Chain A
Amino acid sequence: MIITRRNILVGGAAGLLSGCDALGKNEDFRKLLALGEKGNFAIQRSLQDRMALAKEFRPQQRSPVFRMNGTRQPRGEAYAKHASEKFANWRLTVDGLVARPQAFSVAQLMAGPKRSQITRHDCVEGWSAIGKWTGIPLKLLLDAAGLKSQARFLVFHCADKMGFGTPYYESIDLIDAFHPQTILAWALNDETLMIGNGAPLRLRVERQLGYKQAKYVERIEAVDDLSKLYGGKGGYWEDGAGYEWYAGI
């Protein structure tokens, strides 16, 4: 190959690019890079009031169509049976590090106190959709179950099985768990939640990105440590794709 300035430039640029790719595959370098997002977590939590609300919108500011994303139809006979029964026999259990484990039917939850909020759903990919969510504040369920003092996180176990049969799950800390806008939603835009949007119950954690908004929630488990569950990083996408556990940015 003749060495020309052009070749040096092109070769140098290609070398830099593959160097960056190699760095990105290095586990230690990835950890170093991840400090940026860990820093965002620390800064955001110190700037945010614990009870600071996500922006709420007027009804006419809603998206004409609220985009469905992720699982639109959970696989398996068990879910299909629940769907055919209109979720009459669906149970939401609250267990783990709680004093009084609970089980709620959807009808019970819908008959309880409710909160409606028109908020913006931000996908990690970049799109946003605004919709009105109605559901029961998570705090009320936690008060009923009585968190033990060792509890640090809440894990949301979902009915949708992803690739290789791994169930979807997500987790949040107690600051978000007791936030007034954190609800288990059973309605979107004043209609009973559709399957594509997470029927019968979907978590809303309004100060974080879309992948935290677990759908098809059937069990809430209070734990002291996330590392013992599934891949250990606190969520399906955190384990599988490397997304950050804190999704505030």
Chain B
Amino acid sequence: MAKSESKRETAHPPVSQPQTVFRHRLSTRIWHWVNAVAIFVMLMSGLMIFNAHPRLYWGQYGANLDQPWLVLPRFPGWATLPSNYDLALGRHWHLAFAWVLAFGLLAYLVWSLFNGHLRKDVALSRAEVAPAHLWEDIKKHARFDFHESEARYNPLQKITYSLVLFGLIPLLILTGLTMSPGMNAAFPWLVDVFGGRQSARSIHFICAMGIAAFIIVHLVLVILAGPVNEIRSMITGWFRLSPPPASNSGDSA
């Protein structure tokens, strides 16, 4: 296996034989897997907690006699943690892994700011946000053509990761804190920012569903783009490039 020792910036190697690029830093890989565990625990224990009162409201208050905007049947056991109804244990899981999620994100963001990961790999360049470029990227996704994004994140990927890193997870943390009566006394502005505890609970649920949708799309794309290579690169850091489409004469795996 010919490992390229330098961090490649080019999308395509000039030769058609399989080459590897170093794609994910150690900090990114550690955070990815720690976060994968934390996110699954948070989603599933969150559904357990939601099952205790599967109704959502807007505003400061909301209970059985008030008007909900969403009423769902209870989530089945395979989707919740624990799988049987146990609100106390669900809260223990949720409120323990909340620390892993929140401080994991904080450490990752600080480290990624420091080592340039955010600036070099996640931030969108001016050219990338041009509508024509984005449209090209959408068309490539529609054709399941991921060649160009093997060594670098493509624009849609960058937009999605930014939404998760700076939108969904921070919102989940803040709305989670807003639901705490103790935090309301410490930081009264939290409840004002979200327009009430029940609004915060609704936003918390919507963001959690956003994360669930992200995970589904993420896993589907990993499978479409070659699961072994993709998962190996998130473990070892090294990704095997496929030959560029032009020279793809039929000997590719």
Contacts and interface: CB of A to CB of B under 8 A. Distances in A.
Interface of A: 14, 17-18, 20-21, 24, 30, 32-37, 39-40, 44, 47-49, 52-55, 57, 61-65, 67, 120, 122-130, 206-209, 237, 241-244, 247-249
B197 A120 contact: yes
A243 B88 contact: yes
A47 B62 CA distance: 27
B212 interface: no
B180 interface: yes
6 contacts: A36-B97, A55-B188, A55-B191, A126-B49, A128-B198, A242-B88
A52 to B, nearest CB: 4
Contacts of B188: 55
B172 interface: no
A124 B51 CA distance: 12
A237 B91 CA distance: 14
Interface in B160-192: 179-188, 191
B87 A127 contact: no
B95 interface: yes
Contacts of A241: 87-88
Interface of B: 41, 44, 49-50, 52-53, 55, 60-66, 78, 81-84, 86-89, 91-93, 95-99, 179-188, 191, 197-198, 201
Given A40-B182, A126-B49, A206-B181, 18 more contacts: A20-B41, A20-B81, A21-B82, A21-B83, A21-B84, A24-B93, A30-B89, A33-B89, A37-B96, A48-B185, A54-B184, A64-B66, A122-B181, A208-B181, A209-B181, A242-B89, A244-B88, A248-B181
B92 to A, nearest CB: 4
Given A64-B65, A128-B62, A249-B95, A55 B83 contact: no
Given A33-B93, A124-B52, A130 B61 contact: yes
A248 B92 contact: no
B82 A20 contact: yes
A120 B60 contact: yes
Secondary structure at chain B's binding surface: helix, strand, loop or mixed?
A: helix
Contacts of A18: 83
Contact of B99 (A14, A36, A47, A129): A36
Contact of A30 (B78, B92, B191): B92
Contacts of B96: 32-37
Contacts of B84: 21
B33 to A, nearest CB: 14
B224 to A, nearest CB: 15
A147 B65 CA distance: 42
Contacts of B198: 127-128
A140 B86 CA distance: 39
A242 B209 CA distance: 28
A52 B185 contact: yes
A228 B52 CA distance: 31
A125 B185 contact: no
A70 to B, nearest CB: 13
B95 A248 contact: no
A242 B93 CA distance: 13
Contact of A249 (B63, B82, B180, B191): B180
Contacts of B197: 120, 122, 128
B53 to A, nearest CB: 4
A71 B229 CA distance: 58
Contacts of A48: 182, 185-186
Most chain A beta carbons < 10 A, residue from B61, B179, B180: B61
A14 B77 CA distance: 11
A51 to B, nearest CB: 10
Contact of A127 (B62, B78, B180, B186): B62
A33 B181 contact: no
A54 B181 contact: yes
Contacts of A49: 186
Q: Which 5 A-B pairs have the closest CB atoms?
A: A248-B182, A36-B96, A242-B88, A126-B53, A125-B52
A40 B186 contact: no
B61 A63 contact: yes
A73 B111 CA distance: 57
